Amino acid sequence: MSPRPVVTRFAPSPTGFLHIGGARTALFNMLYARHKGGTFLLRVEDTDRERSTEAAVAAIFEGLNWLGVKPDAEPVFQAARADRHRQAVMTLLETGHAYRCHLTVEELEAERERARAEGRAIRSPWRDRVHNDPDAPHVIRFKGPLEGETVIDDLVKGQIRFRNIDLDDLVLLRTDGAPTYNLAVVVDDHDMGVTHIIRGDDHVNNAARQTLIYQAFGWEVPAMAHIPLIHGPDGAKLSKRHGAQAVGEFADMGYLPEAMRNYLTRLGWGHGDSEIFSDAEAVSWFDVRDVVKSPARLDWAKLAFVNAHYIKDADNERLADLVRGDIARRGETLPDGVDRHLATLIELLKEGAKSTLDIAASLEFVIKTRPLSLDEKCKGLLTEETRARLSRLAEHLAAVEFQREPLEAAIRAFAGQEGVGVGKFGAALRGVLSGGSPAPDLATALTALGRDEALGRILDAVS
Ligand code: GLU
């Protein structure tokens, strides 16, 4: 039999934001499908009607879209397939792989207590009995084997064995006819032709139950890869106190989607010691079998390093739009004069920026309006001698082309002419240009301000 074409899927439950752990699972599914020339699908697991919200569905779509994780077909909504799920349960009933269980809530509770006390799985007496009124209130349970083992050859974790006797007879259909989660997952994965299930390792226990359901239907069990969760830098489960969890938070913190893609792919997976790689390289290298078994830890310094790399390469107009967004989120706007040549400014200021927020912060000194208020430190530097020197410098710079290199040369030449080192007036110059805000090196700061503004700031301070 020739192997089936690879189909993977990401199957989020829309109960909140898109967690970066989920985003990485989605990414791994996409990469593996692309690597194998297969198909990557998206399924929204909204069977839990109480916990699923439309806002969460929108947040998940938005997060995936931002990250550039795009399914190859329209998303499937699980809740819309409830009739198909019910029909599948009827098949199991007909083939003897399921039964109607008429335990009342109290009876079930009593059995749960007994099972707990005896250290065994719950068993319903209805497993081998038929009620004389099949319409009497009931759930439909899976009739699992009581002997033998269920073995999962997990592509990441290796072989995992479960004793069937330990697995209770799971409810497939509730009293109100609503299909349950594990049943829906199996039927959907089968109907969608999924060949590889790549998901978080919090689903390992479901894997055994789902495998039994596949076998009862006589369907081929997909390959499974359970990947470890993402932990915080301290090794604890990622939580609020680690700074961020939702993909949207990372976007707001000024990370670029391509940097996030690269970083998340590298988290728990690697190709030699490559830290920076293109999407095409990720596709050609990625195999889910190479995902490491232990939980990956979020490393902010590494993420910043990767982001800085992509910022350096990014188009300045695009960065300008992102920076405008960052500034707007702070409730501020750029002055027209700055906004007009923002992309040019960004080219000057993006060097070393670890996020677009860094770029926005580095614009602060440009945005100020004259006359700047100088801090005490700067005032202290402006001695009589330094004022006179800065005034001569302003004259000297008036004839210089306001570009980084000529300015750098001019400052050096000026220092030589004055018979001092640049250090003698550099700090004061920086202070009068920036008003104490963070600023880049002198030549860059001058270029970013432009001739009129820069010379105006110097003269304001020395006159
Ligand atoms: N809906 C599940 C979740 O969000 C994933 C189920 C699966 O991938 O099989 O955790």
CATH code where residue 456 lies: 1.10.10.350
Ligand 1, atom 6: nearest CA belongs to which residue? 11
| Mean pLDDT value of segment 334-353 | 92
Domain harbouring 208, CATH code:
3.40.50.620
Does residue 2 carry a pLDDT above 80?
no
* pLDDT tens sequence across 198-221: 999 999 999 999 999 999 999 999
Same domain flag for 350 and 454: no
Does ligand 1 come within 6 angstroms of the Cβ of 45?
Answer: yes
C-alpha 144 – ligand 1 centre gap (Å): 22
382 shares a domain with 350? no
pLDDT greater than 90 at residue 75: yes
397, 424: one domain: yes
Residue 443 sits in the same domain as residue 381: yes
| Residue 262 resides in a domain | no
Q: Is there a contact between 431 and 390 (Cβ–Cβ < 8 Å)? A: no
pLDDT value at residue 49: 82
Candidates 38, 27, 34; CA nearest to 3 is: 38
Same domain, 129 and 196: yes
**How much is the mean pLDDT over the chain?**
95
pLDDT at site 240: 83
Q: Give the residue numbers annotated as catalytic, written as ranges.
A: 240
Q: Is residue 335 part of a domain?
A: yes
Does residue 414 have a pLDDT over 90?
yes
pLDDT in tens, 352-373: 999 999 999 999 999 999 999 9
Looking at the fold, whether 152 and 123 belong to one and the same domain comes out as: yes
* Same domain (yes/no): 107, 154: yes
Task: From 13, 40, 227, give the residue whose CB has the most ligand 1 atoms within 8 Å, as the site to mutate.
Answer: 13
Same domain (yes/no): 213, 333: no
Q: How far is the CA of 11 from the centre of ligand 1 (A)?
A: 5
Residue 322 domain boundaries: 314-367
* pLDDT at residue 393, rounded to an integer: 98
For the cut 80, the answer to whether the pLDDT of residue 264 exceeds it is yes
- pLDDT tens-digit series, residues 246-263: 999 999 999 999 999 999
Tell me, what's the pLDDT at 335?
A: 86
Residues 406 and 458 in one domain: yes
Q: Are residues 335 and 439 in the same domain?
A: no
The CA 373 to ligand 1 mean position distance, Å, reads 56
Please identify, among 209, 227, 245, the residue that sits at the C-terminal boundary of a domain: 227
Whether 21 is covered by a domain: the verdict is no
Can you give the pLDDT at residue 3?
Answer: 80
Q: Is 12 a pocket residue for ligand 1 (Cβ < 6 Å)? A: yes
Is 427 found in the same domain as 360? no
**Does residue 387 lie in a domain region?**
yes
Among 182, 208, 227, the domain-final residue is 227
Does position 348 have pLDDT exceeding 70, yes or no? yes
Cα separations in angstroms, 2 against 29, 33, 80, 217: 22, 17, 32, 21
pLDDT of 1 > 80? The answer is no
Confidence of residue 280 (pLDDT cuts 50, 70, 90): very high
Same-domain check for residues 406 and 450: yes
**Domain total of the chain:** 3
